Structure 1
Amino acid sequence: MGNTWKDPEAFASLIRDVEEKLFGALPDETWVYPGHGDDTTLGNERPHLPEWRERGW
């Protein structure tokens, strides 16, 4: 998840899309290639969803 510059509407839209269109639609084995950091899988990132929500970006 990227920084939405403390825009709550942009964050709500982004987190909803990420949860529904990625985590809700694809299996945990799906590889993702972020713009920075190491390649990973949705299964490795799924536990971070609450952290992302709390952080707000």
Structure 2
Amino acid sequence: MVLELFCSGDSLFPGGVGNTQGDAERFTSLIIDVEAKLFNELPDETWVYPGHGSDTALGKERPNVSEWRARGW
């Protein structure tokens, strides 16, 4: 079994992407990057360690991306 780990800094947290201070343009840029560079490239088993707070796995967060887009944060 290969365990994949990823340190996401402040880009991905349990429940959403990083804080973009309510700036719609910054949010759009960040979520596009997170989808392209994480969700589209790494398997569900990849464990994510944010810059602070709790850790998570891509498989746990992936189903929520459309909800994050809809809420805009």
TM-score of the aligned structures, taking structure 1 as reference length: 0.85
Q: By percentage of residues, which structure has more helix?
A: 1
% identical aligned pairs: 70
**C-alpha distance in structure 2 between counterparts of 1:35 and 1:46, whole Å:** 19
Structure 2 unmatched ranges of 5 or more? 1-16
Instruction: Tell me how far 1:51 sits from its aligned partner.
Output: 1.6
Q: By percentage of residues, which structure has more strand?
A: 2
Question: Counterpart of 2:71?
Answer: 55
In angstroms, what is the RMSD of aligned CA positions?
A: 1.2
Question: Counterpart of 1:35?
Answer: 51
Instruction: Tell me how far 1:36 sits from its aligned partner.
Output: 4.0
